[in-house]
Amino acid sequence: VIVDSARAVARSMNVDENHAEFGKRVIRKIAKFINDCGKSGVIIHHNNGSGKASGTKDIPAAV
């Protein structure tokens, strides 16, 4: 399971991603849901807005 992005999930839940509640109300709930389903997951906080993976010069493949 890939959640892209946690920032969008937080916004849909009216949670400020810079607030302490972000981890508790968003990340922990997503992680618990993925774990309860017996799956592995990657939770992406946000991208850098350019379509490239943050911190790299790589361009992700189209899905």
Asked whether residue 30 is domain-assigned, the answer is yes
Q: Is the pLDDT of residue 44 over 70?
A: yes
Domain count, the chain: 1
Burial of 36 (0-12, 13-18, 19+ CB in 10 A): exposed
Q: Which two tokens stand for residue 43?
A: 């939770």
- Residues written for the chain: 63
Q: What pLDDT is attached to residue 47?
A: 56
Q: What pLDDT is attached to residue 62?
A: 46
- Name the residue range of residue 37's domain: 2-44
Lowest mean pLDDT among 2-6, 43-47, 53-57: 53-57
Which residues are CB-neighbours of 41 under 8 A, at least 6 positions away? Answer: 1, 2, 3, 30, 31, 34, 35
Asked whether residue 58 is domain-assigned, the answer is no
